[in-house]
Amino acid sequence: MEIKEIVAEIKKSGRVCILEGSGQILELIAPNAWNMEQDAKDGVFLLFEIFQIRTIAEPFSEISLDIVEFATKPTIYHSPASKMLPAGPVQDGLVRFALIKKDFWNKLLFAYSQALILQFPKGKKAMFETKEYFPLLSAGTKEMFLDGEGLVKILKA
């Protein structure tokens, strides 16, 4: 499977379903294609680099950025959503995001060059397949609340 083919499909239709290495189907959605009526409200923004946080969340302090940048395990963060966020899953004023560092998935996000929204669809077929495991599906995935001032609450250890 070629990354450029996946990126071309996202640019064409706004979304793509991928069967990842452990057998789970992932749907990656461009933020402008996310639909409040049909898409999951608990979607996760996938980022390929730390400075993309400012496009989806309120401004972060250096401490908050360091927490995200130096995390050693896959982590989903819950943070106050940016008022400038045009579309995407926001629940109770919070946005969920993850910085994806694993090679294949990071390269895919980098090739698209913008954040993508992850959701786990029911009853959809995969358009592409990879042997690469998606990092947020690992048993060690953590979840934490993180605000711009460095307030941290561990939600799932």
Give 61-93 pLDDT, tens digit per residue. Answer: 888 888 888 888 999 999 999 988 878 899 999
Residue pLDDT, tens place only, 85-122 = 878 899 999 999 999 999 999 999 999 999 999 999 98
Q: Compute the average pLDDT of residues 125-135.
A: 94
Helix axes 103-112, 3-13, angle to 10 degrees: 40
Residue 141 lies in domain? 3-156
Looking at the 3D structure of the chain, how many domains does it have? Answer: 1
CATH at 124: 3.90.870.10
Helix (H) or strand (E) holding 7: helix 3-13
Record the tokens describing residue 66, joined without a space: 């360091």
